[in-house]
Amino acid sequence: MPKKEWIKKVLVIGSGPIVIGQAAEFDYAGTQACRVLKEEGIEVVLVNSNPATIMTDTSIADKVYLEPLTLESMEKIIARERPDSLLASLGGQTGLNMAMELDEKGILEKYNVQLLGTKIDSIRRAEDREDFKNSMIEIGEPCIDSVIVHDVQSSVDFANEVGYPVIVRPAYTLGGTGGGIAEDEKQLREICADGLRSSRVHENLIERSVAGWKEIEYEVIRDGAGNSIVVCNMENMDPVGVHTGDSIVVAPTQTLRLEEHEMLRTSALSIIEALGIEGGCNVQYALDPNSMKYYLIEVNPRVSRSSALASKATGYPIAKVTTRIALGYNLDEIENGVTGCTYACAEPTIDYVVLKFPRWPFDKFVYADKHIGTKMKATGEIMSIGNTFESAMLKAVRSLEMGMDSLVVPALEALSDEEIEHRLHEINTERSFVVAEALRRGVTMEHIHDITKIDLWFLKKVLNIVSTEQKLRALPGKEALTYDLLLAVKKMGMADKAIARFVGCEEGEIRAMRKEMSILPAFRLVDTCAGEFDAVSPYFYSVYGTKTESFNTGKKTVVVLGSGPIRIGQGIEFDYCSVHCVWALKKAGFDTVIINNNPETVSTDFDTADRLYFEPLTPEDVWNVLEIEQPVGVVCQFGGQTAIKLAKAVRQAGYPILGTDLADIDAAEDRELFNALLNKLGIPQPKGTTVFTADEAVAAANELGYPVLVRPSYVLGGQGMEIAYDEKHIREYMQIINMNIQEHPILVDKYLLGREIEVDAICDGENVLIPGIMEHIERAGIHSGDSISVYPPQHLAPRIQRMVTDYTINIARSLHVKGLVNIQFIEYAGDLYIIEVNPRSSRTVPYISKVTGIPIVELGVRASLGESVPAMGFGTGLYPPAPTVAVKMPVFSFEKLPEVEVSLGPEMKSTGEALGLAETAEEAYLKGFASTKMAIPKPEEGGVLFAIANHDKREALALAETFAALGFEIYATGGTAHMLNHNYVGAHSVPRPGEDTDALAKLFDSGKIRLIITTPTHGRDPLRAGFRLRRMAVEYGIACVTSIDTAKLLMKCVKLGKKESEIPALGLHELIL
């Protein structure tokens, strides 16, 4: 069927801030969708509160609303824009839920908006457990014995009938929030209660557990005419029981026979037919490893994380095809952009192995619970491609950037055999490495299989890697490495660095040997068709033992290093920067190349750069690409710390770095050099020193005076950073920091409790443009990524703003910055101090680009190519501030991460961000809170609970007074209650966790508490009462604010007395001056 011609204006819903379970994959999907719509000449109205996305660029959509994804705000926008249709299946669960709500509330009907793609009824049938089950029974598809419950007792009754273990799955949540496996009644009661709370409709599915079965996924796509194909099938190495987002996944399936595949393929296609899906859909199965029995686990009637993976794994652009289907096209009318000669109705076939490895945040949350189950905990993932499982696995491990280059984990090597055996029983983020360690010690595959249920096929592959390690370790030295052995080891995917360590020499020696023996990597194409046709937009992966199919077009090439997996501290912002960098370079006439390994992103879309290399971002892997591509320049400043860390290796290999010189990067990152620079410029910074040992740190702190800020140099996202108030803290943090070997010294600085200020600037080596100054709401000490940031600044004296401008210009010039620089300041007692200079693109670049209308990345690229800043047309110095106010608010995923401290500190904890954009600051704050799902409290909805650390009590008093005056009931714990009552603020005294946890739980359950304001005492002991209070707040879904400054801001919004619906929607397209 050809395109539906009546579609002229489409509203696209994005997925909002990045949280665990909903990450960059929806920026990729949404961006593809918008581009298709524009290609078709359709006007695109986009709503997404996440400013770090590419889809919210005014070049991607015609009208961009960085507005809250709430019913009120959606209705405002629909009323204003009057789109004829809505595309919601590319905005993740958020988009789908929003479409359903808009339909339920009659808003779609009221404004005559058609939902494109899968119909509402079909979505409901797939999403509603009961409807879904009935539809499946009708077509004879087996669902697991299950029951839908709305209370805990019913779940216990069911479990008594079918037997334990049972799985709890809450309805309408993302990433399996609130779910879990219960082994007994006690666990079931806990998990069930938790699940009911997190479900939008207060509903849980309780089902018989098939933990240990094979978990198989099918990515399927169907058009409006009923044509359907399988895009990709995938097998989880971790059997059923671990959320697929936390599983190691391979594509295609490896241990299935054709009959088994045909059975599940038929099932998947029957299901999307029965549900009437129009577009991409994900179907997950549990397959009995010992029979043809299978059960459906889940159907996602939309583009998902798995579909992003399937798209990148096969080259089949699911989101694009889904959008075209929504417009009315059929699969046989949609061209395959990779081959240029086949159509979307051909099932992709691949001739390599794809492996996805999750990236968890536990390098930051060292005390958190690392077990994985039905609740997803990973913040991101990487994908690797190899022609063997072993090479894909080893590439994956390198891509994670966890400091590993093999399956060897020193901490596990140090454990006893008993401990390893014990750990095999634990299903946690380390399991694959524990398995490798067990195999290394001679534990049999059969024994490991009995415990873990991991298929023997996978275990044998891991054993192959381990045996090769041991073969290398047994060699007398590198001289014993023969050509055949070295080639075999490289074919297996082992890094030079790992080989060197196993045989006892330097990485460079292995590299030299390889070159001498002509053991060189070659690059193969991903072409969707296993070589059957010539491909036009392919991408590449490395293999050994063959010839390169990569090509050089003869044009001048620039290589852009990407930012790897999404993790706390390095999120989607850096993909935004990398992609814009590529676009700017293309505009300047270069052939562009991207190296990246994150399948969720726009940067790894096959038509972003001219050539894409799906490879780990390590020196060896990057050198390999550079040798093939022979670029005229390499860009390291847009891919976050991942890319900047590679600058030295790039330079070493003799390739020019575009932009700021390596020596100048060092001058900013190296403490001694940086101090010297600031001294020369006469710019003050908090006093500090560098140390290596705990003793040195304690001595330094005593000299500076507590509190002090302790952190490693060369970090991103405040990794291992902490404020220490006494010697005990210092010793504790030094121990954590030193868990990873530190190549660089550790910084100990005097901690100033002032106002933080941040700028991003563009410099051509001489002239500097500052698009805007951002002011942080929370005082220094809370990581800049976790602070609420407002532009233009609301509380900065003109004198301070001038100083910020002058310091920025002086520093950028002195560092000879060519491109971007990010500088953080503290205003303390009327003075301005520098705390950090990052000679690269930062997390705030997308946000500040959008609200100032200055294409910062493009200008940065042009500056690094030698263009002068004044010639760019935006002037120099501080750019005039916008007439609107933009607030960037952090978004957290604490409910997904049990045992993680909720209070904020110098170590970053947020997973994403949302924007509030309005004419006034208060309105912008209010929108920002709405975007982060922090609804402004009203006195009639419940009271405010205070639990305040001693050093904050004075300020909290004023806050409590105001809340009380506004009519809120005030509750407070022990000392805080005493203090408030003593000062004539009537407060109900409530027990602290540990004193009477049950009473507190009852209070939380009653709904009487609407907001908790709790500031932390020092330390991160999980047993502390404050820690447990905050965790309880998260688990009961009660808003929890952990900084007095945030609470004050919230108070301002309460006082404003406006509803979200009263504040007009403001489009980004209206801001551009």
Partner 1 sequence: MATLILEDGSRFEGTLFGHKAAAAGEVVFTTGMIGYQEVVTDPSYAGQIVCMTYPLIGNVGINDLDFQSAGAHMKGMVVSELCDLPSNWQTKDSLESYLDAQGVTALYGVDTRALTRHIRAVGAIRGMIVEGEGTQEDIDALKALKVENPTMDVTCREAYEAGEGDVTVALLDMGTTRAVVNSLTKRGCRVKVYPADTAAEEILAAGCDGVFVSGGPGDPAALPAVIENVKKLMDAKPTMGVCMGHLLMARAMGGNTVRMSYGHHGGNQPVKDIARGTCVVTSQSHLYLVDKDNLPVNAEVSHINWNDRTIAGLRYTDRAAFSVQFVPDGGKCPSGTHYLYDAFIAGLKK
Q: Which residues bind partner 1 (CB under 8 A)?
A: 222, 225-230, 252-259, 261-262, 265-266, 269-270, 273, 289-291, 330-332, 341-343, 345-353, 387-389, 455-457, 460, 464, 524, 529-534, 545-547, 549
Residue 163 or 340 having the CB closest to partner 1: 340
Residue 408: CB minimum distance to partner 1, A: 22
Residue 869 DSSP code: G
Residue 328: CB minimum distance to partner 1, A: 14
Residue 1031: CB minimum distance to partner 1, A: 42
Residue 64 dihedral angles phi and psi, to the nearest 5°: -115, 125
Residue 147 or 216 having the CB closest to partner 1: 216
Residue 176 or 493 having the CB closest to partner 1: 493
Residue 629: CB minimum distance to partner 1, A: 21
Residue 398: CB minimum distance to partner 1, A: 20
Residue 413 or 534 having the CB closest to partner 1: 534
Residue 225: CB minimum distance to partner 1, A: 7
Residue 544 or 751 having the CB closest to partner 1: 544
| One-letter identity of residue 593 | V
Q: What is the rounded distance in angstroms from the CA atom of residue 265 to the CA atom of residue 218?
A: 7
Residue 155 or 452 having the CB closest to partner 1: 452
* 896 alpha-carbon distance from chain centroid: 13
Residue 145 or 273 having the CB closest to partner 1: 273
Token look-up 């007439």 returns: 883
The token duo for 964 is 């009380």
Token look-up 């380390």 returns: 430
Residue 118: CB minimum distance to partner 1, A: 16
| One-letter identity of residue 242 | V
Strand partners, 64: 46
Residue 79 or 530 having the CB closest to partner 1: 530
Within 8 A by CB and 6+ apart from 286, the residues are 144, 210, 213, 214, 215, 216, 240, 294, 295, 297
Residue 234: CB minimum distance to partner 1, A: 12
Within 8 A by CB and 6+ apart from 1058, the residues are 922, 923, 926
Contact (CB, 8 A) for 670 and 866: no
Residue 535 or 782 having the CB closest to partner 1: 535
Classify 701 as helix, strand or coil: helix
Dihedral of CA atoms 1034, 1040, 1042, 1046 in degrees, nearest 10, equals 140
Contact (CB, 8 A) for 405 and 497: yes
Q: What is the rounded distance in angstroms from the CA atom of residue 370 to the CA atom of residue 897?
A: 9
Residue 232: CB minimum distance to partner 1, A: 10
Contact (CB, 8 A) for 432 and 246: no
The token duo for 535 is 């491909």
Residue 720: CB minimum distance to partner 1, A: 40
Pure H helices in 144-207: 152-162, 185-198
Residue 438: CB minimum distance to partner 1, A: 17
Q: What is the rounded distance in angstroms from the CA atom of residue 900 to the CA atom of residue 1030?
A: 10
Q: What is the rounded distance in angstroms from the CA atom of residue 1009 to the CA atom of residue 411?
A: 44
Residue 349 or 1017 having the CB closest to partner 1: 349
Instruction: Give the burial string for 122-152 (b: 16+ CB within 10 Å, else e).
Output: bbbbbbbbeebbebbeeeebebbebbbbeeb
Within 8 A by CB and 6+ apart from 759, the residues are 770, 772, 773, 774, 804, 808, 822, 823, 825
The token duo for 791 is 């532009």
Residue 354 or 724 having the CB closest to partner 1: 354
**Element spanning 676, H or E:** helix 671-681
- β-strands 818-828, 831-838: how paired? antiparallel
The token duo for 962 is 């105001």
Q: What is the rounded distance in angstroms from the CA atom of residue 324 to the CA atom of residue 2?
A: 10
* 233 alpha-carbon distance from chain centroid: 24
Residue 318 or 730 having the CB closest to partner 1: 318
* 1053 alpha-carbon distance from chain centroid: 29
CA-closest candidate to residue 724, choices 744, 707, 703:
707
Residue 134: CB minimum distance to partner 1, A: 19
Residue 222 or 843 having the CB closest to partner 1: 222
Residue 342 or 932 having the CB closest to partner 1: 342
